[in-house]
């Protein structure tokens, strides 16, 4: 069975806004398959990003989850408030606003552990991932739909053409699994590209441990800022050249390597060497 987002939007005098990444899932079978594959622990509290017309919200509620859903489009949040919330008034809260300006922990009512689900608007995918990384101590699982191209970048490993800053960060902090590839035909309006659902499971212990998160971030960013350059040259734009040589040597990484060949673990060892050199072995 398909639902008709076009019909619902027409009936309420609404339109799909491209600028808000509004491609609504029109196939309940795909939504069900997505949630089947997601294997969210039963009873887990869910923060949903961009519920739209409720294509994922409704089946989440059917499966017994409690949901806090954040929708930026007032017409849509009002629709959900009127049509969906009455079906589960004590398990659905709808917030009208921009998820990038909200605090995940507050949305989850201060819970120590919760899940995040969303068919993400393309425009906010990258900043949202950085916000999720900040909240990772409480977000145990995130099941997110991305444009396929971005998902490919996120799951990329060293040596892949699309390997970059986000892949390094995400691979360090989370286990990433590709759950489902979805064609454009199940959305209204139809996007030009395919979509991919990923599950991120944030790790409870990190190995190797990072001595200084800020230096780790700076090391990864500096390495990729000039990805065609050798690490020695790229890192020298941020750190003193003699420190770069010492850190590379301490981490056992050849100076003529490029950032795109390093694993997350290599970056951590390198950043830890910078931390030790900056603050002295006793303090770092």
List of residues contacting ligand SAM (CB under 6 A): 20-25, 49-53, 55-56, 70-73, 76, 98-100, 119, 121, 124
Report the residue number, 26 or 277, with the smaller CB distance to ligand SAM.
26
Tell me, what DSSP letter sits at residue 209?
A: P
Q: Taking the complex as a whole, how short is the minimal distance between the CB of residue 77 and ligand SAM, in angstroms? A: 9
Q: Is the peptide bond before 36 cis (omega within 30 degrees of 0)?
A: no
Three-class secondary structure of residue 241 per DSSP: helix
Q: Taking the complex as a whole, how short is the minimal distance between the CB of residue 101 and ligand SAM, in angstroms? A: 8
Q: Taking the complex as a whole, how short is the minimal distance between the CB of residue 14 and ligand SAM, in angstroms? A: 10
Rounded CA separation 111/109 (Å): 6
Q: Taking the complex as a whole, how short is the minimal distance between the CB of residue 117 and ligand SAM, in angstroms? A: 9
Rounded CA separation 19/108 (Å): 27
Q: Taking the complex as a whole, how short is the minimal distance between the CB of residue 20 and ligand SAM, in angstroms? A: 4
H helix runs in 39-147, sequence order: 57-62, 74-83, 104-107, 125-134
Report the residue number, 30 or 219, with the smaller CB distance to ligand SAM.
30
Report the residue number, 50 or 164, with the smaller CB distance to ligand SAM.
50
Q: 97: alpha, beta or left, given left = phi > 0 and alpha = psi -120 to 50?
A: left
Three-class secondary structure of residue 33 per DSSP: helix
Report the residue number, 77 or 264, with the smaller CB distance to ligand SAM.
77
Closest CA to 284 of 200, 194, 186, 213: 213
For β-strands 139-147 and 195-202, DSSP reports them as antiparallel
Instruction: Please say whether the beta carbons of 77 and 54 come within 8 A.
Output: no
Instruction: Please say whether the beta carbons of 165 and 172 come within 8 A.
Output: no
Q: Taking the complex as a whole, how short is the minimal distance between the CB of residue 31 and ligand SAM, in angstroms? A: 7
Report the residue number, 98 or 137, with the smaller CB distance to ligand SAM.
98
Q: Taking the complex as a whole, how short is the minimal distance between the CB of residue 282 and ligand SAM, in angstroms? A: 45
Q: Taking the complex as a whole, how short is the minimal distance between the CB of residue 35 and ligand SAM, in angstroms? A: 12
Instruction: Please say whether the beta carbons of 71 and 77 come within 8 A.
Output: yes
Crossing angle between the packed helical segments 213-225 and 165-173, to the nearest 10 degrees? 150
Report the residue number, 80 or 262, with the smaller CB distance to ligand SAM.
80
209 CB contacts (<8 Å, ≥6 apart)? 268
Report the residue number, 68 or 253, with the smaller CB distance to ligand SAM.
68
Report the residue number, 25 or 200, with the smaller CB distance to ligand SAM.
25
């Amino acid at each position: 069975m398909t639902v008709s987002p076009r019909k619902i939007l027409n009936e309420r005098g609404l339109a799909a806004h491209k600028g808000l990444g509004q491609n609504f899932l029109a196939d309940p079978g795909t939504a069900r398959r997505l949630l089947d594959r997601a294997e969210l622990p039963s009873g887990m509290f869910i923060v949903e990003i961009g519920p739209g017309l409720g294509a994922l919200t409704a089946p989440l509620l059917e499966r017994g989850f409690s949901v806090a859903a954040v929708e930026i489009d007032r017409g849509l949040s009002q629709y959900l408030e009127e049509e969906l919330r009455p079906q589960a008034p004590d398990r659905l809260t709808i917030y009208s606003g921009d998820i990038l300006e909200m605090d995940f922990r507050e949305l989850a009512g201060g819970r120590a552990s919760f899940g995040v689900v969303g068919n993400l608007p393309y425009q906010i995918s990258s900043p949202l991932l950085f916000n999720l990384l900040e909240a990772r101590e409480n977000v145990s699982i995130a099941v997110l739909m991305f444009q396929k191209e971005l998902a490919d970048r996120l799951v990329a490993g060293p040596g892949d053409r699309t390997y970059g800053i986000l892949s390094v960060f995400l691979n360090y902090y989370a286990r990433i699994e590709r759950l489902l590839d979805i064609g454009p035909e199940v959305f209204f309006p139809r996007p030009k590209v395919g979509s991919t659902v990923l599950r991120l499971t944030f790790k409870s212990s990190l190995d190797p441990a990072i001595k200084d998160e800020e230096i780790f971030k700076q090391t990864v960013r500096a390495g990729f800022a000039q990805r065609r350059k050798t690490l020695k040259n790229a890192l020298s734009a941020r750190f003193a050249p003699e420190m770069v040589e010492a850190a590379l040597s301490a981490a056992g990484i050849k100076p003529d390597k490029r950032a795109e060949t390093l694993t997350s673990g290599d970056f951590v060892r390198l950043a830890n060497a910078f931390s030790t050199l900056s603050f002295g072995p006793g303090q770092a």
